[in-house]
Structure formats: C-alpha cells, structure tokens
C-alpha cells in the first residue's frame, strides 16, 4: 500500500464550487505539505503543517484553506474554485529536522476547473 | 536568492545510452540540501536522493549516480545504460535551513527503444 495517498486522483468541477482534496499518510511523519504543479512554473507551496496545531501559509495560499484533522490527515479546500486553479496538486510528508526535512510526495490529484 | 536551474528542458536518448541531467543551484548559505525527484508519466513524484552541502562524496545507486561539485554549484545526475522505464521528468531541488523546498523547472527525459 502507498505511504501517502490522495483522493480523488482526478476531479473536474465548475467555477464557484467548493472542492476538498484529501491526503492521508501511514509514514508517521509530523510534517505535511500541499503543493500545486503548473506547466512551466514547477511546484509551488500552498500550505504546510508541522503538526496538528501548527499550520502555515506557503507562497500561494490565497483561495485555499487547509485542515489538519489528525497527524495522518491533511485536507486542502478550494472555497470557490476558479479556472486558474486547474493544476496537479501534490501532498507530501516530511521526515527529519523540520527545517531540512526530506519530503515524500503522494501520487497527485489532477484538478480541472471549468 | 535561492534558485535551481535545469537548463535542459528535454533530452532524448536511445536505450542503453548514458545520459546526464544537469542541475545548477544558487544559494548564499553554507549549509543547504539538494534533492532529485523523478516524475514518471503516471504523475507521481518519487524521491531519489538527498545530499547535504557538507558531504561532497559522490553517490552511486545501481545505474544512477550523482556528482556533487560545490566549486561549480552543480549536482548532476547520470543514468548509465538508460532504459525505457527511465523516461520521466526529473526535478532537482534545493533547500536551505529553515527555507522552503525550491524546485528546478525539470528535465523531460525520453528513452526510446
């Protein structure tokens, strides 16, 4: 079984809809991350969480929110989806020192906003 | 500023050829960490290696090898005797202490039979 899982793997939605992407892990890592990948822009950090009570904004958090329900679960929400949020979204977990950890990525969720 | 440059956007080779993927980084820090990830056509990101700035020893893992040279700020990745399954986008990434993980733009490797 995969250590980091994301659901759904693919989602097509309409502008204005609320969407939740879920991530769960069995690695036992405290740190979790959400990134988006866009062609030509690489990966950009949306939010990260060092533990259940410690959540931080990344470089592109506007239009997104997160919830760390448990050590193993970290959800990303798009409150009102817009077309430029169409991207490949990755969840990752981190192990090691919090400032230099090695990150392990999930399989990704491909989101299309029409 | 922290930056990672992968100048090779696309590389195409024939199976069994050796191929080197270049990675050049910029950082003002003396302590930092370098990574390589593989993204196959299925889309997931697979961790390959982590290298600390204070450890310049090169590493070999099967057909994969990494050449870290601080003098030229490079962390190149070589695949020996490439195979079709090596076809993927490869990302180099940099992290300094307390900072975010910064990815290069990726190099798309196509290995043809």
Q: What is the pLDDT of residue B93?
A: 94
Whether the CB-CB separation of B59 and B49 falls below 8 Å is answered with: yes
**Model pLDDT for residues A26-65, shown as the tens digit of each residue:** 989 989 999 999 987 788 999 999 888 999 999 899 999 9
Residue A1: predicted pLDDT? 53
Contact, B112 vs B15, CB < 8 A? yes
What percentage of chain A carries pLDDT values higher than 90?
77
Q: Decide if A10 touches B, using CB distance below 8 A.
A: no
Show residues of chain A in contact with B89, CB under 8 Å. none
What pLDDT was estimated at residue B46? 93
Query: Which among B97, B99, B105 has the least Cβ separation from residue A42?
Result: B105
Tens digits of residue pLDDT in B21-68: 999 999 998 889 999 999 999 888 999 999 989 888 888 889 999 999
Q: Would you state the structure tokens that stand for residue A12, as one six-digit string?
A: 């097509």
Contact B91 A42 (CB under 8 A): yes
Helix (H, G, I), strand (E, B) or coil at B12: strand
Distances (CA, A) of B101 to A2, A76, B30, B81, B104: 23, 19, 16, 30, 10
Residue A2 has pLDDT above 70, yes or no: no
How many A×B Cβ pairs under 8 Å?
Answer: 41
**Contact status of B42 with chain A (Cβ, < 8 Å):** yes
DSSP A32-54: EEEEEEETTTEEEEEEEEEETTE
Check pLDDT > 80 for residue B85: yes
Are B33 and B51 in contact, with CB atoms under 8 Å apart? yes
């Amino acid at each position: 079984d995969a250590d980091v899982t994301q659901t759904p793997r693919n989602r097509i939605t309409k502008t204005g809809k609320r969407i939740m992407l879920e991530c769960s892990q069995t690695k036992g890592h405290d740190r979790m991350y959400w990134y988006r990948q866009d062609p030509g822009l690489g990966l950009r950090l949306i939010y990260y969480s060092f533990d259940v009570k410690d959540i931080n904004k990344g470089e592109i958090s506007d239009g997104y929110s997160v919830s760390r329900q448990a050590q193993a679960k970290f959800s990303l929400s798009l409150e009102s989806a817009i077309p430029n949020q169409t991207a490949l979204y990755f969840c990752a977990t981190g192990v090691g020192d919090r400032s230099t950890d090695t990150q392990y990525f999930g399989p990704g969720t491909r989101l299309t906003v029409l | 500023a922290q930056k990672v440059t992968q100048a090779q956007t696309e590389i195409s080779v024939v199976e069994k050829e050796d191929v080197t993927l270049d990675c050049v980084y910029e950082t003002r820090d003396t302590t930092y960490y370098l990574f390589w990830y593989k993204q196959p056509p299925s889309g997931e990101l697979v961790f390959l290696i982590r290298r600390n700035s204070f450890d310049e020893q090169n590493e070999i893992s099967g057909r994969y090898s990494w050449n870290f040279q601080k003098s030229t700020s490079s962390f190149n990745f070589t695949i020996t005797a490439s195979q079709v399954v090596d076809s993927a986008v490869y990302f180099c990434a940099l992290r300094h202490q307390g900072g975010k993980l910064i990815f290069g733009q990726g190099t798309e490797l196509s290995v043809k039979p």
